[in-house]
Amino acid sequence: MKVIRADSAGFCWGVERAINIARDLAADGTQERTVYTDGPLIHNSQMMERMKAEGVREVGDYYSKSKIKVDEGAKEDSVVVVRAHGISPDRRKYLKGLGLPFKDATCPDVGIIAGKIKSHALKGFDIIIFGDPKHPEVTGLLGYADGRGHVVQNMDDLDALPEFNGEVCMVSQSTMFSHEYKALVDQIFNRYPEAQIFDTICGATKERQSGVLALVEQGAEAIIVIGGRHSANTCKLVKLAESHGKPTFHIETAAELNAGIFSQFDAVGVTAGASTPEFIIEAVCKELHEV
C-alpha cells in the first residue's frame, strides 16, 4: 500500500517554540527544576506525558481558570509557563502573583491577535471573534476585548449579534477554516462597510488545510488525521478530509490503527495536527507501510 504523507503535518513553529521553552527551563543548563504549565502546554496528551518525565508538569485546568497550588518549598526551583494558546490579562496577573518565575510561551501569532483586539477595544470598537467560545485561545482573547467581545461560530451567531452603533473590528481564532471566515466577513461588510477586518488564521493552519486537498489530488483513497481529540486544528482537518468524500480516520496514536480496514486501500494519505509530535507520525506511517 502507498502511504502519502502531507508536506505540512505535525508541529507548527508556535507549538515547537512552546515545547522548547519548557524543556530549556526544565534543564536550565545548571540545574533541574520543575516547570508548571497553566493547563496543557499543547493539545497532545502523549507529548505532555513525555514532557512530564523531563520535569514539565501540567497544573490548573484546560481553560486556564482554576486556582493553582504550588508547595512553598518548591517555589525556589520552579517556574510557571503560559501555554501556547495564550491567556487573558487577568489570568496573566494571577500567574505573576504566584511568586514563581514567569515565562510566556504564547504562540506569537496568537499574541498578534490579542494585540489587535486590545488596541481596537481601547479605541471603542466592538470586537467580533470567529472561533469556538469553549476553546482556551478564545477564552484568552476575550480578556483583551474589555467587555466588548462577541464570539461567533456561524451565520446564525452572526445574525444574533446586537446592532453596533460604533466601529466594528473582526478577527479569527488562529485555527479556523479560511472559507468559513471569508463568508462571515462578507456578511459583516454588508452590515458594516467600514469594519476593520484582520485575517488572523495562522499560516500553519492554512498550510495543513491545503495539504488535505493535496493528498486527495495525489490519489489518496482514505485519509488518516493524527492528533489529540481536543486539538481544534486537528478536528478541522478531519472535517475537511470528510468534506472531500474520503473515508477519514481520526487517531491519536498508531495503536488505534486497524490493519484490516486499511488493507482495502491502494493509497492512504496521512496528515497531522499542529500539536502532533513527529515520533507519533513516524510510528503511524511505519505501521501503514507494513499493511
Average the pLDDT over 47-69 and give the result: 89
The pLDDT of residue 29 is 56
Residue 73 has pLDDT above 70, yes or no: no
The pLDDT of residue 33 is 78
Residue 203 has pLDDT above 90, yes or no: yes
Q: Nearest to residue 22, comparing CAs of 46, 38, 44, 2? A: 38
The pLDDT of residue 34 is 86
Q: Are 58 and 48 in contact (CB under 8 A)?
A: yes
Question: Which of the residues 137, 217, 282, 287 is marked catalytic?
Answer: 137
Radius of gyration of the chain (CA): 21
Q: In the numeric block, which cell numbers belong to residue 14?
A: 508556535
Average the pLDDT over 213-231 and give the result: 95
252 among known catalytic residues? no
Q: What is the band of 259 on the pLDDT scale with cuts at 50, 70, 90?
A: confident
Average the pLDDT over 103-115 and give the result: 97
Q: 131 vs 54, which has greater pLDDT?
A: 131
pTM above 0.85, yes or no: yes
Residue 99 has pLDDT above 90, yes or no: no
- Domains along the sequence of the chain with CATH: 2-10+204-289 (3.40.1010.20), 13-106 (3.40.50.11270), 109-197 (3.40.1010.20)
Average the pLDDT over 266-270 and give the result: 97
User: Quick count: other Cβ atoms within 10 Å of Cβ 45?
Assistant: 16
Q: 203 vs 27, which has greater pLDDT?
A: 203
Q: Read off the pLDDT of residues 124-162 as tens digits, 9 standing for 90 and up.
A: 999 999 999 999 999 999 999 999 999 999 999 999 999
Residue 74 has pLDDT above 80, yes or no: no
What are the contacts of 280-284 at 24+ separation with CB within 8 A? 280/44, 280/46, 280/226, 280/252, 280/253, 280/254, 281/5, 281/9, 281/10, 281/226, 283/253, 283/254, 284/224, 284/226, 284/251, 284/253, 284/254, 284/257
Average the pLDDT over 204-208 and give the result: 93
The pLDDT of residue 200 is 98
The pLDDT of residue 69 is 80
The pLDDT of residue 239 is 95
